[in-house]
Amino acid sequence: MLVTAAVTGCSASAADQADDGSTAPRLRVAAAASLALAAPLSGLNDSPALSGEISGVTTTPVATPDEFKSLLTSSRVDLAALPTITAANLHNRGVGISLVGVVDADLLKVLAPKGSSGWKALRGRTVYVPFQGDAGDVTFRKLAEENGLTPGEDFQLAYTRSIPELMSAVATGKARYALLPEHFATLALRQAPAEQAGLAVLLDLQREWRKATGAGSLPQSAIVVRSEFAKDQPELVAKLRSYFTANTEDMADGDLDRTRATELAKATGITADLVSTLLPTLHLSFTEPGAARSDITTLLTQVADLSPRSVGGKLPDGAFYGE
């Protein structure tokens, strides 16, 4: 899900002068404000493992796939955190990127009135969904079909233009059924009107995906690098992969120091306490492209069956996986 993120730096050239006078690249990152994507990227500036490898980090907020394309094709960013479906689409449209790895997380939730049970609860209802054609929308519709429901017939879809618009619809009681990613799903549950029947999580789409496909994960989020940057900085890209793996493992229990929690709070617009509360529930993991390829192929194949345009009309070639 693409939503506006916080800016943690300003635009900069690809290489800056490090504090010790040596030349090191400044890592320029584009990211959406999902906690699941912000978490692996956090702490880059302070990492001992990357000391001397980068001279700093600049993060640019991104709200749409076209913004990612613009930043990557113009070489204004080196690294981007975005939905895997969007990454495949950009690669197939000729944007020179390859995977650093993918992030699996308990991210997408369908909210419904308390007491509702299973997919059958959606029959005859209107489900509010942000961003028509985005990764969450396509995944949700595919899973609905796998569970015997035809979107647009058995239930209706009402699309909103942004996460804040959908959050407002939930808060006012207009949206009684809604698809939201975390951390926004938790915020929506807290903001739902008390005078009405409360809302709860009806479906965890990660769990539903595993049941429907037999895949080990739903690698819906990706971290990609510009192909040119990867060619010029192969050792740095390898160290970034190791960093992202260790970083997600270290914060899986939500036991963060205040500095890291504050950094993530600024990046996502939620409180540091909520960051620490939510992280353990996301069950974050980062997997390198080779190990994740089977699950990525399952995701893209299933999505392409429903909406070929969403992945750029075909499965990405080996260059997408860094081959």
Q: Is 52 left (phi over 0), alpha (psi -120 to 50) or beta?
A: left
d(CA 200, CA 113): 6
The pTM for the full model equals 0.85
- Convert the pLDDT of each residue in 22-62 to its tens digit: 578 899 999 877 788 888 998 898 888 898 899 999 988 78
pLDDT in tens, 125-145: 999 999 888 888 989 999 999
**Nearest Cα residue to 36 out of 238, 294, 217:** 217
Q: What would the pLDDT profile of 274-285 be if each residue is shown by its tens digit?
A: 888 888 888 889
Cβ atoms < 10 Å from Cβ of 317 = 10
Strand arrangement, sheet containing 199-204: 156-160, 126-130, 178-181, 108-113, 199-204
What proportion of the chain, given as a percentage, has pLDDT over 90?
47
Dihedral angle of Cα 10, 15, 16, 20, to the nearest 10 degrees: 140
Instruction: Report how far Cα 320 is from the mean position of its chain's Cα atoms.
Output: 18
Residue 163 pLDDT class (50, 70, 90 cuts): confident
Among candidate residues 43, 61, 79, 63, the one with its CA nearest the CA of residue 5: 61
> For residue 91, is the peptide bond before it cis, meaning its omega torsion is within 30 degrees of 0?
no
Calpha distance 169→50 (Å, rounded)? 43
Run of H or E residues at 294: helix 289-306
Which residues lie across from 54 on neighbouring strands? 51
| Torsion sign across C-alpha atoms 50, 56, 62, 67 | negative
Give the whole-angstrom CA distance, residue 181 versus residue 143: 16
Q: Tell me the Cα Rg of the chain.
A: 19
- Residue 306 is predicted with a pLDDT of 85
Which one, of 182, 131, 198, 138, lies nearest residue 158 by Cα? 131
DSSP output for 103-114:
EE-S-EEEEEET
- With b meaning 16 or more CB within 10 Å and e meaning fewer, what string describes 184-202? bbbbbbeebeeeeeebebb
Higher pLDDT, 254 or 270: 270
Residue 107 is encoded by which pair of tokens?
């991210």
